Amino acid sequence: MAIKKYILNPDEQLTEDQILMVREAAQRPLAADDENPELTDEQLALFRRVHESRQEDRKRKNVTLRLTPQAIQKAKALGKGYSGILSRIIESVLDDPAMLSKYL
């Protein structure tokens, strides 16, 4: 089943077209989709388990690094979220053997 959602500013009024769309949608019967059946409770539970296990893998941990003042200044110049950017930079270098050998 396809669902179309609109997120409106609470202060914003619906347009006449939007009101018409809502009224037309309310009149339509629900139709089953044979190619994409609704998930069972067991299937939904499996999704949760996968999510929970991946969440543990992605959980960030605190570490202490000794950086030069210049490195800290350049990192902070990246703006808000610079520690996440540094994390992705470090991970990409560690995954690239050629770049990693350059710094060893």
The pLDDT of residue 102 is above 60: yes
Higher pLDDT among residues 50 and 22, named by residue: 22
Complete DSSP assignment for the chain = ---------TTPPPPHHHHHHHHHHHHSPP---TTSPPPPHHHHHHHHHHHHHHHHHH----------HHHHHHHHTT-TTHHHHHHHHHHHHHH-HHHHHHH-
Local confidence band at 48 (pLDDT 50, 70, 90 cut-offs): low
Which pLDDT value is given to residue 8? 67
pLDDT at 57 over 80: no
Would you kindly state where each structural domain of the chain is located, as residue ranges?
68-104
